Structure 1
Amino acid sequence: MSVNQLIELMAALLILFGAVVSVISAFGMIRLPDVYTRSHAATKSATLSVLSCLVGAFIYFWIHDGYVSIRLILGIVFVFITAPISGHLICRAAYRSRVPLAKGSGEDALKPVLFGNDESENEMK
């Protein structure tokens, strides 16, 4: 195998890795219990999957065709900047709208701080 074929194989593996992480992210969106954990699945793993697919495509076109795609570079930068910000804003909007946490997370020590429960404030005194 030549060096170009190895690099093309690496690019294909990056794209395959991105596809697998994207499927895992989709399962996380379906299976996770509340908006906070779903936001995590949507932003963190989806960002990783899209970035690895775009990097794989960039490497493939660079090695195979000798073409440096500015569109792919801009896509990588755009996704890298906007996805974490959107996840943060979704969680912030849910927090300000007082969306409840999932059942079973009620024992969380930060719940009184987040939601201002009067009973737990009395217990703390």
Structure 2
Amino acid sequence: MPFYLEIIICIALLIGGVFLLVGSYGLARLPDIYMRLHSPTKASTLGITGVLVASMVFQSHLKGVFSVQELLITLFLLITAPVAANMIAKTALHYRTKPIEKTKNQELMETIREREEPKP
């Protein structure tokens, strides 16, 4: 394997690993559910993307053709992570999970909770 490909793979793995570490740390240390949503949706998505890019480069070199599987996995994660975070936030609002006192615009949470469902 050429040295420049090894460098690209190592850099992508290091970047992915750092983002995954930061995402895991944030998931464990952030004080409430509304702040914890940022950790898996942003940092972890970037971390998995870095690891999958490294895998894509390695598999493309190994097989001799462009590896599409890792690209499809990355696109799936980039599409589904924000949707999952939105559903988790809606569930937290529905169950009236209290944010910490420092959270700004808490009155907007009550406005959202009182909103009626649209009529079909």
| SS of equivalent residue, structure 1 residue 46 | helix
Aligned residue identity for 2:100: A
CA distance in 2, matches of 1:59, 1:80: 19
Aligned residue identity for 2:71: I
Residue in structure 2 matching 1:41, options 29, 39, 49: 39
Residue 79 of structure 2 corresponds to residue 90 of structure 1: no
Tell me how far 1:54 sits from its aligned partner. 0.4
1:59-104 deviation per Cα after TM superposition (whole angstroms, max 9, x unaligned): 1222344232232122111111111111111112112221111133
TM-score (norm: length of structure 1): 0.79
Aligned residue identity for 2:73: G
| SS of equivalent residue, structure 1 residue 37 | helix
Q: What's 1:77 paired with?
A: 75
8 A contact 1:12–1:56 mirrored in 2? yes
More displaced 10-residue stretch of structure 1: 62-71 or 46-55: 62-71
CA distance in 2, matches of 1:100, 1:83: 23
1:91-122 deviation per Cα after TM superposition (whole angstroms, max 9, x unaligned): 121122211111332xx2x2122125xxxxxx
TM-score (norm: length of structure 2): 0.81
Aligned residues: 111
CA distance in 1, matches of 2:63, 2:6: 11
**Structure 1 residues 1-125: aligned runs within 5 Å:** 4-105=2-103, 108=104, 110-115=105-110
CA distance in 1, matches of 2:101, 2:106: 12
Identity of aligned residues (%): 26
**Structure ID, larger Rg:** 1
